[in-house]
Amino acid sequence: MELSSRFNFSEVDAKWSQYWVDNNLFHAEVNPDKKPYTVVIPPPNVTGILHMGHALNNTLQDIMIRYKRMRGFEALWMPGTDHAGIATQNVVERQLSKEGKTRHDLSREEFLERLWAWKREYGDTIIHQLKKLGASCDWPRARFTMDEGYSQAVRSVFIRLYKKGLIYQGEYIINWCPRCQTALSDEEAEHRELQGNLYHLRYPFQDEPDQFIVVATTRPETMLGDTAVAVNPKDKRYKKYIGKTLILPFVNREIKVISDEFVDSKFGTGAVKVTPAHDPNDFAMGKRHKLEFVNVMKPDGVLNQHAGQFEGMDRFEAREAIVEELGQLKLIEKIEPHTHAVGHCYRCHTVVEPYLSKQWFVKMEPLAKPAIEAVRKGKIKFYPSRWTKVYLNWMENIRDWCISRQIWWGHRIPVWYCVGDDHCQLACKAPIVSETVPVACPHCGSTNLKQDEDVLDTWFSSWLWPFATFGWPDSGKKDLDYFYPTASLFTAPEIIFFWVARMIMAGKEFMGDIPFSDVYIHGTVRDAKGRKMSKSLGNAIDPLEIIKEYGADALRFSLVINSGQDLFISKEKFEIGRNFANKLWNASRLVLMNIKDPDIDVDLGKLDKKALDLPSRWIIFRFYATAEKVSAANERYQFSQAESLLYEFFRGNFCDWYLELIKDRWPDPAVQKIAFGILRDTLKIMHPFMPFVTEELWEKISKEKGPLCRQSWPVVSRKLIDKNADKEMQTLMALVAAIRNVRSQWNVNPAEQIECRLITVSTKDAVLIEENTAVLKQMARLGNARIEPARIVGPATGGAKNSDTVKNAVTVLVGNIKCVIPLGGVIDVDKEKKKILGQVQEQEKALDGLAQRLKNKEFLKKAPAEIVAKEKERLTSLNARVTELRLVIASLE
């Protein structure tokens, strides 16, 4: 079989991503004979292009899905995309602005048509990229959060919640993005530390214009909307002023000094300006004290007619101007630097404005309750578990969810208002909430209805993802029954509140059941300096470029092996994956080149242990141990560990030792069989991690069995697990390593054979060495290994006079075996002795302690039987160890 000596990943990537999809190999459907294993993809935004975060997130899902598929589950990975309201609208608005237009130059319908056109053209970009990554989704099932059916689910949910009284409309302070000109939820306002100022402003009293109350604020421009100044009722400094009237500079509004428990007398001056229309706390105070609500800002952040002389200025411009003017009026006490957290729009990073407006909200507490319980009771588990607390903490302090957005791209709120006949105006003020377009006002019969202009928050559709993707509520019942609840959800920490928590609430509320039982939270991909990767920072590494340069397997493998926690990624990190894929390729090439029988096949589990030599028993043991540990790691979402295990096994055991050991024995069909069997089964357990190279190699060796992605996971054969073989090989390997070490230090040509005396203190070791001289010869290039078993010997040959110098021979201790290599050199025997003596002493101390404990009646009574047994076992092994060490010391005398 002719294979190139380099793994040609670009060809292989293209070939298999095509093949898998063309043959619909990832399709899953209701199958009563199999257990389902379902994962729903965190739907990427239609505006998305694959970044490292996606690459990691989807690789992890793919590993699990492929693994479970091979374990015999009906594994379904449900794909799809999210319409991503603001993000997508922004993209198209930017496109428009290049033409010198805004969305308001178009009608709503025209603008939406442009959005759909954009979606049709670019919306599947990321889907294609995911296919390049090898994502084994059931692609024909792909859903979009604005599909007709999906939209119905959204409307239906709105109606249900409205009817339950869990959706309400009201005027509250919300986070407002002046650039996007829409409301944002609390989660969509990202708080970032900003270096700002705390301005101490003087508000003069009405009756004594040269006397002031000093208030502290970070946003002086909002003063124009002040309708009170508040102090703490217990604050002695201000008690006398409560009830007095102040004159608000510039606008000359008369405002009262009020008292409110909320005010912290220790902060700032202890007196706070109250701006009910521009601050959530002030809003609450305003309600409590029935203050006037003066909104001084237009939706775009420009001051309005209530701002007096500052009307028409942008909010930040106005801040400067107001400070300037106040300074001239000597109304600024001082300005001190002040760091504080300021909300930013999570889409465009503009500073958000707390803004008073009429919005729709979801009442969250009743929804949160069952969702809290589900996690508390362990029905849903977080991996790693520490995220449980984060989730619970948020859920227990949950606040109502602002779901209306003043944009056009999204699910329009299913609410209509009657703008009908005059006589009915009052009665018709109640909104008409309806799943379908209502024909007439139920109160007055007018057909003059107007739908609410706003659309719903994107997450108001995403939170239905685990069941709406199956066609809920109208269709897909069979699929839902089978695939729901899903098994695992893979996502990043910042999505817990946005999505995970809300999906749990939606699942409980609408399906009556949790949406998934496991939530795996993976790390964030950062650059080498630990900064988040982002386009604006210019530190992003493009996964597609890595795929091009190193291959998809390399990208996957490298990302995952680094995914124990947050990942610090630089381009060189991907070499490990490329090199490993190449190694796999070349090792397979070696095996294939040496296999003579084209129909070779073997079932490792059915081999007769007694007929196998030590290296075979060992490599089989190592394979099974690896397969089991990889399974266990997968089940616990420890994918980086799984890859380390595979790496260690394949390189450290199979290539570096086993293949080297059998190098001269290829003609032996038995050797061919073992090598073939191990390689073939290794491809299986590596497949979820490196699907492309393994699939390609599988085709070369087991094509008749069909594609690797549909094969079953190797079954571990208990009777072939030989721990002893492992121990024995460890001894031989240590011996070989020691001899190589000596050769390297004394610069002996590796090709040159040397002689060596191996002196053992146990017959067991002697037998082991005798039986495996071939191994030693092969790996350590020993010309002749003489064994002197069960003898305690004097100093090494060479006739050393001083105890610390042995000339003409090197003595190396490998466990209990003394290895004397006549090369010339020096070894410090005294130092060795001291070291071992120290060990003996430590062991003896431990021995005493253990013995004592095992005599202690209380310990025996309290400790579980298995612990006692374990300790006893330990005692025996410690005893043996001490005896061995003593013998070694004796041999050094």
Partner RNA sequence: GGACCCGUAGCUCAGUUGGUUAGAGCGUUUCCUUGACAUGGAAAAGGUCACAAGUUCGAGUCUUGUCGGGUCCACCA
In angstroms, the CA 35 to CA 47 distance is 35
Considering the complex, what minimum distance in angstroms separates the CB of residue 663 from RNA?
7
Considering the complex, what minimum distance in angstroms separates the CB of residue 91 from RNA?
24
Considering the complex, what minimum distance in angstroms separates the CB of residue 617 from RNA?
20
Considering the complex, what minimum distance in angstroms separates the CB of residue 568 from RNA?
4
Cβ-based nearer residue to RNA, 236 or 423: 236
Q: Among 53, 23, 49, 57, which Cα is nearest to 124's?
A: 49
In angstroms, the CA 874 to CA 279 distance is 66
Considering the complex, what minimum distance in angstroms separates the CB of residue 101 from RNA?
35
In angstroms, the CA 45 to CA 402 distance is 21
Considering the complex, what minimum distance in angstroms separates the CB of residue 565 from RNA?
4
Cβ-based nearer residue to RNA, 186 or 518: 186
Considering the complex, what minimum distance in angstroms separates the CB of residue 279 from RNA?
6
Cβ-based nearer residue to RNA, 511 or 847: 847
Considering the complex, what minimum distance in angstroms separates the CB of residue 119 from RNA?
29
Cβ-based nearer residue to RNA, 244 or 853: 853
Cβ-based nearer residue to RNA, 66 or 578: 578
Rg value, the chain, Cα: 37
Cβ-based nearer residue to RNA, 379 or 853: 853
Considering the complex, what minimum distance in angstroms separates the CB of residue 126 from RNA?
24
In angstroms, the CA 38 to CA 36 distance is 6
Cβ-based nearer residue to RNA, 455 or 567: 567
Cβ-based nearer residue to RNA, 217 or 702: 217
Considering the complex, what minimum distance in angstroms separates the CB of residue 56 from RNA?
14
HEC assignment per residue over 672-698? HHHHHHHHHHHHHHHCCCCHHHHHHHH
In angstroms, the CA 375 to CA 366 distance is 16
DSSP letter at 413 equals P
DSSP letter at 468 equals H
Considering the complex, what minimum distance in angstroms separates the CB of residue 582 from RNA?
3
Length of the chain measured in residues: 893
Using DSSP's 3-state secondary structure scheme, residue 637 falls into coil
Considering the complex, what minimum distance in angstroms separates the CB of residue 305 from RNA?
23
Considering the complex, what minimum distance in angstroms separates the CB of residue 594 from RNA?
8
Long-range contacts of 534-537 (CB under 8 A, 24+ apart): none
Cβ-based nearer residue to RNA, 137 or 662: 662
Q: Are 592 and 616 in contact (CB under 8 A)?
A: no
Cβ-based nearer residue to RNA, 69 or 680: 680
Cβ-based nearer residue to RNA, 476 or 825: 825
Using DSSP's 3-state secondary structure scheme, residue 338 falls into strand
Cβ-based nearer residue to RNA, 116 or 316: 316
Task: State the number of CA atoms in the 13 A half-sphere of 236 facing the CB.
Answer: 0
Cβ-based nearer residue to RNA, 325 or 628: 628
Show the tokens assigned to 803. Answer: 């105890």
Cβ-based nearer residue to RNA, 127 or 591: 591
At what angle are helices 691-702 and 552-561 packed, to 10 degrees? 120
Considering the complex, what minimum distance in angstroms separates the CB of residue 839 from RNA?
4
Type of residue found at 243 = G
Cβ-based nearer residue to RNA, 409 or 550: 550
Considering the complex, what minimum distance in angstroms separates the CB of residue 843 from RNA?
7
Show the tokens assigned to 843. Answer: 């062991």
HEC assignment per residue over 211-255? CEEEEEECCHHHHHHCCEEEECCCCCCCHHHCCCEEEECCCCEEE
Show the tokens assigned to 479. Answer: 């699929």
Q: Residues 247, 249, 252, 257: is their CA dihedral positive or negative?
A: negative
Q: Are 546 and 12 in contact (CB under 8 A)?
A: no
In angstroms, the CA 682 to CA 774 distance is 26
The Cα angle at residue 828 between residues 824 and 832, in degrees rounded to 5: 130
Considering the complex, what minimum distance in angstroms separates the CB of residue 674 from RNA?
16
Q: Are 756 and 782 in contact (CB under 8 A)?
A: yes
Show the tokens assigned to 664. Answer: 């001269």
In angstroms, the CA 655 to CA 81 distance is 43
Using DSSP's 3-state secondary structure scheme, residue 834 falls into helix
Cβ-based nearer residue to RNA, 447 or 744: 744
H-helix segments, 416-494: 459-462, 465-468, 477-483
Backbone angles phi, psi at 535, to 5 degrees: -60, -40
Give the distance, in angstroms, between the CA of residue 156 and the centroid of all CA atoms in the same chain: 32
Place of tokens 């695939």: 483
Show the tokens assigned to 606. Answer: 């059915």
